[in-house]
Amino acid sequence: MKKLLKSTLPVFLIIQLVGIMQVAQAQEFKIELKSGTLEIGEITGSIYLEAYDGSEIVIEGGRQYETPERARGLKSISSVNDNTNIGLNYQKNGNVVSLRAVRRRNYGGYRIKVPKDVKLAMEVSTSWCHRISLKGFSSDVNVTARHAKVELENLTGNVKINSRHGLVKANFAAMNADIDINARHGGMDITIPENAKADLRASTKYGEIYSNMEIKADQRSVGDMTSLSRSAEVNAKINGGGKRLRLSARHANIYLRKK
């Protein structure tokens, strides 16, 4: 019996290991695209996108949708086809790749590596998308999100963010291009380099605008930050002016920090 266990145990472990490796491999999907545009529509879970020096869009995470028992032998006519086996549908037309979730429910988050020369355009309105995180993009970024929190780190290209309910938190490495952020109800917390040159226009109708930067505007002290104005809009040149910096949060506060 002991000899039998000794001989079968390694085989069992190998089978298990192969199964795990197959699952791991199934959780990754690649699309060749060195330059062009990545369009992301409705997608679920938490989405992490990072620019890298490569020629493929690499998607990790998610899982294949399991068909309900009663639907065996039938096909869904209310959703798109899962042609990635990780809960996503993709289409490629020339140098444009489109991604969207197969189902409206959350079937796991995704990590997506995007070639550095690829532009990003996202429009996500589903409440099943909780967080959108972008890192290292030097190409143009355009994101519209209804419910998700939006996080930006070390973006250096043109940035346009429109968030309805979620907080927008951004840490910019440089002000090399125009930045336009609208966070209607969630507000924003924005950090830029201390020596950044920008033409600032910040507005909030029912919130306040705070900053620890030297900005020529009407000021009231509030702790270690400063309330710039209770009016609807502040216009100022930071370090003499430069790239466009538009910040708008109708029903929430704007925090502008230096680093």
State the Cα–Cα distance between residues 259 and 251, nearest whole angstrom: 26
State the Cα–Cα distance between residues 59 and 113, nearest whole angstrom: 7
Domains of the chain in sequence order = 30-66+77-258 (2.160.20)
State the Cα–Cα distance between residues 176 and 202, nearest whole angstrom: 19
> 186-216, pLDDT tens digit by residue?
999 999 999 999 999 999 989 999 999 988 7
Q: What integer pLDDT is reported at residue 87 of this predicted model?
A: 86
Q: Is the pLDDT of residue 42 over 80?
A: yes
> What pTM was estimated for this model as a whole?
0.81
Find tokens 């346009």 and name the residue: 160
CA dihedral 91, 40, 118, 247 (to 10 degrees): 160
> 62-84, pLDDT tens digit by residue?
765 566 778 777 766 656 788 99
